[in-house]
A and B are shown apart, each in its own frame.
Chain A
Amino acid sequence: MKAIPWSLPLIILWVSAAQAKVDLVSLPARDDVQLTIYNSADLTLVRENRLLTLKEGLNELQFSWANTLIDPTSLEMWPKADAGKIDIAELTYPPRTRNIGLWHIQSALSGQVPVAINYLTSGLSWRAFYLGTLTPDEKAMRLEGYVRVMNNSGEDYENAQVRLIVGKVHMIDDIAELARREYPYGRPGYDGYARQEVDRKEEAPRALMRAFEAVGMDADVLKEAKQIIKEGLSEYFLYTIEGTETIPTGWSKRLPSLEADSVPVVNLYKYEEERYGNFVVRFVSFKNDKQHKLGETPIPDGVIKVFRSVDAVEHLSYEGQANFKYIPVDEEAELNLGEVANVIVKPVMMDFRTQNYLFDNGGNVSGWEEVKEFKVEVKNTRGIPVKVEIQRNFGGTSWKIINSGDSGKYEKIDADTVKYALELPAKSNKEFKYVLTTAYGRRAER
């Protein structure tokens, strides 16, 4: 472990009985560190293990965190051995100093004691993103998921076990705000927090690694990309990255989280004026289940960029990108890749009339029907077959439809919406008509 002068030093002061003599011991290094990073909040739980050398009696241990984003109120330390003989009950934040905490440790033994330290920090984050590659016929997709872990915490974490939390955690305080407080718990009489500026250095010093010095260490072994172990925990999913990772501050790292080949997909084109305007919007959908070679865990929300393999040697064409929400197991995901011009839907109202007027006793119009005749032209200019869904919304809820042409049957979606589903061969056209009769006023009464 390298010594970084501005980050998380621990200093032990051995205090004599008379409190007169102070001895300084060498800095204990981290033995290991674990990062549990959340993505629903700017929050990371850091757990590190260190080996302290204590003397019998009172020990004072100074912990400082200048230029980091640690929440001082979250600091916690406990012995991992001889717990009955070591009392770490008191933590003080000295006056007129900042970013320093002093643990008062009463020890009944002398020697090395393993301790664990927990704290919360902000500045570490992660996000999921995905790359999808459709087959040339667009019936299947290779889905590659990644997590990108970003470290802007001000602290270098070397050889850290990295765990990622998928889920929404409820927080009252913003950890970054707590980290910037002038006093860890604020001060009486102030509603707001007095803040301090983080005195970041322009460039974090880093250890120099010599070029080529470690080449050949693992030369005999073809390494595989690290696996991410996924497990459910309460309402969250915990992704644990195999082994350890070194992520210096300012750096980020992309690791593979998911790989599924030949995921069957439905390539669907939708037209619905109320939602998408006068455009056809392309969707690619799949289900997070075993039939689709997925379904082991939920898929965290993220952005997917979708490409299409255009030849046998996997040259690519870029199809578009979509945001998608968290996909629970067995849930279907629908990726909106945006408007397209190569599949065309043109609904045209060809006739409009009103009929069957009713009048009340005062002679006023009290009921009538509107008759609208629509012609819908659908054109597939692509070289592959496509499925097209056309949703039509009506102004009223009392209606009937008579279809003709290539429409097939319609599906009633809700009280005033129907859906037509068409399949078009490559480079083909279809046309259908429907006559919609909508009743209003007393005509709509049953």
Chain B
Amino acid sequence: MRSMNRRYVVLVLLGLGVLFPAASDARIKLAALPQRVEAIIRLDNPDYTLIEEERVLTLQKGLNKVDFAWNGVSIDPDSIRLHILTHPSKVRLLNVSYPPNENALVWEISSAEAEQERVRVSYLLSNIDRLITYKALADKEETKMELKSYLVLRNFSGEDFAKAQVFLDDAQPFERGINHEETQQWLFLGQDQVPFQKIWRWDSLQQVWDPEKVQENVGIPVSYKIKNESASGLGKNTLSAGKVRVYQQDGQGSTILLGEDTAAPVSVGEDMDAYVGDSRDIVVTQRKMVDQTINVRRNTNNSIVLYDKEQQINAQIENFKDTPALLTLVQHMPQEWEMKDCNLKYTRKDAHTLEFEIALAPRSKQELNMHYYQRNIR
């Protein structure tokens, strides 16, 4: 047994009876500590970590008491389960007792024989968790990337794990040891030649309409988009949420950091977008050219009760780069609208959001003209 000032989880086999000492002594625990022979750290639930450990108990014929105690670690006592593995028909767990003012419990076990019994103890352990981080290295042309994903295991649980199988989601388990206050980072996904799209995104609700009217620099957010599918060399599992750092080869044998973002979980078939920074070489200038009230209906008091509006939007889109660019331009529409005329093709994302995918040639300029009615305004 470890010294009392250490954090620990211990399993102690007692004789019959929890030993109540006289007067104010601490509860006495006897016998050798059965060694942990196998441990599993299961991280598939993002909020809770389940530990399963197997130990071999030397049981006496008749009643046995096994003390499971922990100090300096946070275990949910109701989550503790004991599973008899070797002789489930000859060994019975009778009850569980919890001593006062201690992080411990005592299993009372009946055994038909004096024999060694392998048991599995499982419990929810706090302060041991996992993070996922991604590192993407884009080629100089910004068409393909090397994508690496790392599992970061942080063990501040108070418990040392000399060797454990670590399970994460659907992926194959790792075998690792990790001590208290230790953090480990492992590569668990590495994929070369992952195609990606570089996306410039201008949103009429979030970006400045007329950059000339503001003093500070105006940029357009740039993101890298990959698809979690087999064609990308991915698509086997959900990509967990985590921080994404994006680098780029600089063509001189080195790299630069483009930026970093936090990715949400990406299930198979879905896209992962990482916003890396702003571009000042794509400029959008948007103006409302017509805003006219029409079709006015009045009541008998001559008050307006219903009307429409005719509106025209003009956006000038300029690419000052020497390379082509794909701009996603997002327009937010009023509650009830009807398009009269639009010179560019769009996708209706929802009732009030339109997305234009605009391919810009190097050093080119395009124009969006959108003529629509806002209906039934009251």
Cβ B351 vs Cβ A315 within 8 A: no
| Interface size grouping (class) on chain A | 35 or more
Cβ B96 vs Cβ A253 within 8 A: yes
Q: Does A171 contact B (CB under 8 A)?
A: no
CA distance A208 to B17 in the complex (A): 10
Cβ B124 vs Cβ A353 within 8 A: no
Cβ A214 vs Cβ B20 within 8 A: no
Of B14, B83, B100, B238, which is within 8 A of A314 by CB? Answer: B83
Of B24, B28, B91, B110, which is within 8 A of A202 by CB? Answer: B24
Of A129, A316, A373, which is within 8 A of B122 by CB? Answer: A316
* Residue numbers in A under 8 Å from B105 (CB-CB): 254
* Residue numbers in A under 8 Å from B335 (CB-CB): 352
CA distance A280 to B286 in the complex (A): 39
Cβ B97 vs Cβ A251 within 8 A: yes
| Residue ID in chain A nearest B348 by CB atoms | A350
| Residue ID in chain A nearest B93 by CB atoms | A225
* CB of A389, distance to nearest CB on chain B (Å): 20
Cβ B375 vs Cβ A354 within 8 A: yes
* Residue numbers in B under 8 Å from A379 (CB-CB): 267, 269
Extra contacts besides A250-B100, A250-B101 (20): CB < 8 Å: A129-B78, A204-B100, A206-B22, A211-B15, A219-B60, A225-B94, A251-B100, A253-B96, A254-B105, A314-B83, A317-B45, A318-B48, A344-B267, A352-B335, A352-B336, A353-B336, A359-B299, A362-B300, A363-B300, A368-B376
Q: Does A81 contact B (CB under 8 A)?
A: no
Q: Does A427 contact B (CB under 8 A)?
A: yes
Q: Does B129 contact A (CB under 8 A)?
A: no
* CB of A335, distance to nearest CB on chain B (Å): 15
* Residue numbers in A under 8 Å from B92 (CB-CB): 222-225
- Are A350 and B40 CB-contacts (below 8 A) given A319-B45, A381-B268? no
Cβ A349 vs Cβ B112 within 8 A: no
* Residue numbers in B under 8 Å from A131 (CB-CB): 81
Cβ B16 vs Cβ A212 within 8 A: yes
The B226-243 residues at the A interface (CB cut-off 8 A) are 238
Q: Does B170 contact A (CB under 8 A)?
A: yes
CA distance A438 to B167 in the complex (A): 50
Cβ B350 vs Cβ A217 within 8 A: no
- Are A215 and B299 CB-contacts (below 8 A) given A252-B98, A350-B351? no
Cβ B22 vs Cβ A208 within 8 A: yes
Q: Does A442 contact B (CB under 8 A)?
A: no
Instruction: Give a binary string over B1-23; 1 marks a CB under 8 Å from any A CB, 0 the rest.
Output: 00000000000001111111111
* Residue numbers in B under 8 Å from A319 (CB-CB): 45
* Residue numbers in B under 8 Å from A318 (CB-CB): 42, 44-45, 48, 50, 79, 124
Q: Does B305 contact A (CB under 8 A)?
A: yes
CA distance A209 to B93 in the complex (A): 21
The A106-138 residues at the B interface (CB cut-off 8 A) are 129, 131
Of B17, B40, B63, B352, which is within 8 A of A218 by CB? Answer: B63
Q: Does B61 contact A (CB under 8 A)?
A: yes
Cβ A350 vs Cβ B350 within 8 A: yes
* Residue numbers in B under 8 Å from A148 (CB-CB): 78, 98
* CB of A443, distance to nearest CB on chain B (Å): 14
* Residue numbers in A under 8 Å from B24 (CB-CB): 202-203
Q: Does A351 contact B (CB under 8 A)?
A: yes
In the A-B complex, the 6 residue pairs with the closest CB atoms: A250-B100, A363-B299, A219-B62, A223-B110, A212-B15, A206-B20
Q: Does B111 contact A (CB under 8 A)?
A: yes
Q: Does B301 contact A (CB under 8 A)?
A: yes
Cβ B52 vs Cβ A315 within 8 A: yes
Q: Does B288 contact A (CB under 8 A)?
A: no
CA distance A210 to B99 in the complex (A): 17
CA distance A202 to B95 in the complex (A): 27
Q: 25 pairs across A/B with beta carbons < 8 Å? A: A210-B17, A213-B16, A216-B61, A216-B62, A217-B62, A224-B94, A225-B95, A251-B98, A251-B100, A253-B97, A303-B78, A305-B78, A305-B124, A317-B42, A317-B44, A318-B44, A318-B50, A348-B350, A350-B348, A354-B336, A357-B376, A359-B305, A362-B300, A363-B299, A365-B378
Q: Does A207 contact B (CB under 8 A)?
A: yes
